[in-house]
Amino acid sequence: MILQHEIPQGGKLYFSKSAKLKRNIERSASEVFYNNGFEEILTPSFSFLQHQQLFSDREILRLSSENNQQISLRYDNTIDTIRIITKRLMRSTGAKKWFYIQPVFSYPSNEIHQIGAECLEKESFNLLLEISTQLFKIWGIQPHIQLSNTNIMQLCSQELNLNPTEILNTQVDHLLKNPLLAQLLKIQTPQDLQNFIQEKAPAFLKNELQKLLESAKSIKYDNIIISIIQDVPVNYYCDITFRAFLQNITLMLGGNYTIHNTPSCGFGIYTDNVLIILHNKENHG
């Protein structure tokens, strides 16, 4: 029996105070993006299934079009945004910095609202970091920002003749038995990273460690965590990645990536999780 007031599990309902707060969050974000030279894009909610090949079919909501073509509800904003810009819009607009405010959908009935930015040039990575801290400051929250470099894990796995998955799935006490991994695990702050580069870093890691340090130093922010042994937050991210979290709630994921042979960078902010933090803050003073 389905009651009149029920909505599908994973669906979102905003009303009164929560609707107003969500609109304020989105409005302030759009102002920051426009002030930094971004253009807005809203992609279709439906996509051809072949354009979602990077993801497991089990998580994608699939259906057939009137021509019996396989289509899906938009599962990922980044892939559709980059595909549409590079294939349809680049020649006519020339713009390389874009933002969107729209949801994605996953099986069985999950609706996830996001505020995101994509830059079709890797040089904008530090700008994205700065914009993310601006937004959190406007919203009155100060999450931890965790910075990683996926190349470091790859280089370590080659040097130690270990699979990256094997390293990630190994218990910390076993990793500490390896001298190099033990030293990398102890790096938690930009200052720790700088000291390691100057005093102990092996030659094969220095360039990638330095890239990570430069990204950390590019933003004026106190709550920065350096995480060397870290899984890739999104499967197409590479190189420098970042994550913002508070109270064990992920608020943002970002990083460098290459899609359709276009080196780019971007991030996605989970609007619903920001609302949770703001509601918790209000309820607890």
Q: Where residue 228 sits, what CATH number does that domain have?
A: 3.30.930.10
Predicted pLDDT of residue 57: 60
Number of domains in the chain: 1
Name the strands in the sheet holding 70-73, side by side, starting at the edge strand that comes first in the sequence.
Answer: 46-48, 70-73, 62-64
Residue 5 lies in a domain: no
Residue 49 lies in a domain: yes
* Mode of pairing for the β-strands spanning 237-246 and 144-149: antiparallel
Contact partners, residue 178, CB within 8 Å, separation at least 6? 160
Each residue of 139-154: pLDDT tens digit? 999 999 999 999 999 9
Predicted pLDDT of residue 2: 61
Contact partners, residue 155, CB within 8 Å, separation at least 6? 204, 205, 208
For a pLDDT cut of 90, what percent of the chain falls above it?
Answer: 60
285 by Cβ neighbours in 10 Å (0-12 / 13-18 / 19+) ranks as: exposed
Each residue of 74-121: pLDDT tens digit? 889 998 899 999 988 877 888 999 999 999 998 888 999 999 999 998
Mean pLDDT across the chain: 90
Residue 88 lies in a domain: yes
Residue 67 lies in a domain: yes
Residue 4 lies in a domain: no
Residue 1 lies in a domain: no
Print the domain residue range for 108.
Answer: 16-283
Residue 41 lies in a domain: yes
Residue 3 lies in a domain: no
